[in-house]
Structure 1
Amino acid sequence: MQLGDSGTQAIAAWQQQVQGVQGWLARHCEQAPRPEGARVTQGVVLWRQSERWQPVALWPGQPDGAALLSLSEEVRDAGRGLVSQLGEDSLGIGYPVRDLTTDEADGALLGAVALRVMLPEALRGRDSAVQTALLPLMQRLEDGVATLERDVLQRSYRSGRQLQDRLSQHLSLLAAVLAEPRFASAAMQLVSRLASHFEAERVSLGWRRGSRTRVEQISHSAQFNRKMNRIRATETAMDEALDQRISAVWPAPAGPGWEHRVVRAQAALGGMTGLTSVISLPLLDGAEPLGAVTLERDMPFDAEEVAALESLLALCARALEEKRRNDRALPLKVAVATSEQLGRLFGPGFLGYKLTGLLLSGGLAFSWVATGVERIAADAILESREQRVMTAPFRGYIDAALVRPGDRVEAGQPLADMETRDLLLERLQWQSELAKFERQEQEMRARGDRAGVNVLAAQRDQAQARLALVDSRLERARLLAPFAGVVVSGDLIQRLGGVVEQGEELFRVSPLDDFRLELEVPERRIDDVRVGQRGELVLAAMTGERLPFVIERLTPQTRSSDGSTRFVVEASLVRDAEGIDGAARRELRPGLQGVARIETGENKLIVIWTRELVDWLRLTLWRWWG
C-alpha cells in the first residue's frame, strides 16, 4: 500500500515538474528578443529523472528536435554553455540547468536547454555581427535558466516544508496516542485528533475480531449502539478496505491508480449518512490486518490527504495493538500466547521452531524412559580418625622445638624439649636431703632413739617421693611422638624460652593411614542418605583423583552456611584393594576439602533432573494451600 502510494506521488511530482518546464520553455521562446533580426525558432529541454535523461519539453511541438537534442546532450556532458552551428542559416545555443538544493558548490546538473536561432541573410557570414546578435540571446537564456533554477528551488522548499509539517503532525498525534495508558483512551485520542485535523464529521476506529471488524471508538461519541445500521455499514466499509489491504476512497481522487479499487461499501455508507466523502484505511502489522479507520466528511479527499492518513496510521497501528494486548486479562494473555506457540509448532513455516520442539520432545521421552544413578552432592572435609594431644608435662620453659605443623614423625621421635636445669638442681637438693636423713638415722639408732628413727624414716620416705617426682618430670621433659603420623598443630618456634603451664596443649598428632570424611548433606536430601551407601570424593588439591568412600554414620549435628542448613554425615575412605592406590593415600592430609557425591540408587532421569523443582513446588503448595 505505501509503496504504491509513494510511486503515485512521485509520478504526480514528476508530471508537475515537466509541466512547469514546458510552460517555461514556451514563455522563454515566445518572449525572446530579436537582435538585428535573429530570432529563436525552436527549443528543447533535456531533463534528468533519477539516473536517466530524457527530453521533457519541445517548442513548438511539431518540428524535429534531433539536432537540438544532440546539442543539449553536449551541454550536459560539458556542464557549461555552448554555441554550435546547426546549419547555414541557424545556430544553436545551449545552457545547463543546475539543482541548487544540493550541497555541491555549483549544484548538481539537473537539465540542459538548447535553442535554435535563425539568422537573417544580412548576418550570415559575418562572425562579429553574429556574436553581437547572439550576446543578448545568451544573456536572456542565462537569466531564464536562473529563473527555472529558482522555480525548482522554490518547489523543493515548499515540498520540504510540507513534509516537515506533515512529520510534525504525525509525531504530535503519535505522542498523544503513546501517552495514553490504555487502549480505549488511546483509540479515543486517535479518532478525536483525526476528526479535528481533517475536518471530518465522524471518525470510527474498528478492530479485527476473527474474520470481521468491530467498531471500538467513534469520535465525539462516548457510547454507541452496535446494532445500529450505520455502525454495521461502517464495519462493512472497514472490512472492504481490509480485504483489499489498501485504502478505499469514495469518491476516488483524481489521478492514476485509483480506478481499480472497490468502494461499494464506502458508497453505501456515504449514501446512508448523507455525507459526500468516505474513506476507510486498513491498519496493518506487516501483512497481518489489525483494524481499520473510517473517516466521513462533506469534502472529497485528495491524494495528498490519503497519503498523510496512511503514513499516520502506519505509525499508530503497532502502538494501538501493543496497548490492546496489554489491556487483556492475564488468563486471556496466557491462552493467546499458548495458541500462538501451538500455531507455530503445528502450522506452516517455522522450521527451526518445529525442529526445536522435536528435539525437546525426544529428550523428554528419553528422560522419561531411561534411568541413571542418582547422586547427592555434598561438601566434604577430610579429617583424621584419631588425634593425640601432646600437653606440657609440668610448668616450665620450652627449650627446643624440633617439629612444626605438617611434619611427618615416626613413633618415639622427639617433638620438643623442656628446660631441665631447675629440675636437675631440685634433684640434687632432694638427693642431699636423703643423704642427710640417712646419717641422722644411723646416729639415732646408735643412741637407741627409736622415736626419732621413726620420724626420720617418714621424712626420708617423703624426700624419696619428691625425688621420684623430679625424676619422672625429667623423663617427660622430652615430648615423644606416640605413633607415626603428621603434626596437625603446634608451632613452638615463636615460643622458645616461653613459659607453659602444666596440661597446656603443645601439639596434635594424627596418623597418616586412617582418615574419616565429614560430609555436609543438604537438609532437603538427608532423608535419602543411608548407612552403607557408596560415593566418590574429589578433593580441591587432587582434582584428577576420585576417591571412593562408604557412609558409616548419620549424626544429628548440623551446620549453617549461606542461609541453608546441612547435616553432618561421617564416611570412611575405601581401602587400597578397593580403589585408593598407595600413592594417592600418601598425598592425603587432614583438613583437605572437596566435593563428594553420594550414590542413592537407580531412578528415572526425569525424576533426577526435576527433583529439586518438584520438592520446591510441593513445599510451596503445602505452605499456601495445606
Structure 2
Amino acid sequence: MSVSNCAQLWLQRFCQANHEVELGVLHCADSARRPVIWPANAPMDDEFHSLAARALSTQRMALQPHGDSDMLMALPCGASTSWALVLRLNSRDRQHLSVCSKRFKLAEPWLQYAIEVDEAEGADPDLVLRLLNEHSLEEACLTLVNQLSFELDCSQAALGLSDGRRVKVQALSHSASFDPRTQVNETLRRAMDEALLRRRDAWLISGEPSADLPYLADVGQHTGASALASCLLWQGREPVAVLVLQWTGAVDAEVVKTQLNQCQERLRPVGRLLSLRASAERAKSRETITLRTSSARKRALRMAAIAALVLAIALIPVPYRISGDALLQGEEKNLVVATDQGYLEQVLVGPGDAVKQGQLLAQMQERELRLERRQLLAELQQLQQRYNNALASSERAQAAVIAAEVDQAEAKLALLEQQLLRAQIRAPIGGVVVSDDIRQSVGKPLERGEVLFEISSTRAYRVIAYIDERHINRLSKGQSGSLVLSSLPDRQIPLSVERITPVSEVREGRNVFRVECALPGPVDRLLPGMTGTAKVRVGRASIGWILFGDGIDWLRVNLW
C-alpha cells in the first residue's frame, strides 16, 4: 500500500474541481519521499521541483510561465509541513489564478490532514479513506460506528460530537435514523457529556461499583448491557467526539480492553477528520442560511420596489379617453323612390358608384305610355281638324264644344309627358350609392313610393359612435377626440361630439348609446360606410382607475 493514499485522493478531488488544472503534483522537500501526481504516471519535468522548492523556501505562492499559454503555480502547504502543491494551469488569466489560490486556502486543512494520516504510524488509511468517501458527516459517522460494532463484536456502538459545550448523539450502529428525544438516547447523551467532562476513557462491567459513572451505568440499566465503554476521540488536546460501546452476554474484559487499545491507535486521526467535516458542514450551513437570508432580503426588496413602482405608475394621471365602435356616414342622405307604378326596365348604377346630381340611375318601361301618347296626338289632330271645320261653317256652338275637347286632350297629353319624364329615375343629389344592388330586379313590378336607391353625399361626413352605457355619463357635447378607420389605420382624424341620443340599442350583446360626432372639415379618401374606432377625451385619470375602474363600478352595482 502506498504511503500517499489520502494525499492522492485529496489531489485528485482538488484538480477535478478546478477545470483549469491539467496536472497536479504534491512535492516534498525530502527527496526520499516520492511526489504524488495527478493524473497518475503523468510526465513531470524539473521545473516543477525548482518551483516547489522556491515556494517552500519563501512560504509564498510562486508563479512561472510554462510553454506558450500554460502557467505553473506552486503553493506551500503550511509552515509546519515540507510539502508544496504545484499545478499546471491552461490559463494565465489573473482571475483564474486568484480563484485557484482561494480554493486551495479553503482545502489546505484537508491536505495537511491527509499528509498527517499518510505519515502517521499505526493509523488506518483504509478507514480514513472510507470515511472521506462518504458524502456527508452523518454517513461518515454511521460508517464508523458500524465498522467498530463489527470489529469489536458490540451489541451497539454510539457516536456523539461535541460543539464545545455539549454532546449531540450523531449515529447509532445499524440505525439509519433514530429519535434523540427518547429516554434511552437522552441517557446516552448524558453519558457522553459525562465522559467529556471526565476527559478520559472509562470501562464499566455490570454489577461493579459505578459511583463515578452514574450516567454510563444508567445506559446499562436501560439497555441491559453487561459491559460498557466510553472512548474519547481527540483533535490535538481537545476531545471532539465520544464513543459509547455496549456488549451483552459474557465478555472477557481483558481481551476487549486490548482490542480497544489497538482500535484507539487506529482511530487517532479520526477525531480530527470528524472535526473538519463538522466545521465544513457548519460553514456550509451558515453559508446556505446567509444565501437564503440574502436571497429572501433581495427578493423582498425587489418585490417592494416593484410594488412601489406599480403603485406610482397606477397613481400617475394620464389623458382618459372613452372608446367605441364608429361608423362613417354622409351628412346628407337621400332616398330615390318609384314615383309611379310600373315595371323596372333598366338599372344603370350599383352600390358604391359615384353619381352626379341629375344623373340617370334607372329606367322604367315607357312602351304603354308612348303608345297612349301617339293615340292622344292622333285624337288631338282630329279634334283640331273638326274645330277648324266648325269655324269655317260658322257653327259656333259646335266649335266651342270641340275646343273643350281639345283642351281636355292637351291636358291628358301633358300628363303623359310628365309620366314619361318620371319614368327616368335620376339622382337628386351628387354622392355615392350606399343601398343594396337592384340590378337583379330588372322587370320587377314597382309600387309607387318603393325605395330604389339610397345616395349619401360626399361633400361632408358625420361619425356615429356607439358608446357603452357604463361610460355615457362621462360624455358631453363639445368634447373632442379622434377617429381611426380600419381602412386608414395610419391616420387619426379629429372629431367633436355634437349630439348624444337618449335612446339606447343593443350591439353585440352590449347596451350602447348612439353618439353623433362631426368632423372639422373636408377629409380626403373617405367613403360612407367606413368603420373604425372613435376615442373621445373626457379629461385625466390615474392609470389605476383606467385599468380597474370598470371592475370597481361593477362591484358597486352588484355588491350593495
Normalising to structure 2: TM-score of the pair? 0.49
Normalising to structure 1: TM-score of the pair? 0.44
Higher relative contact order (CA 8 A, sep 6+): 2
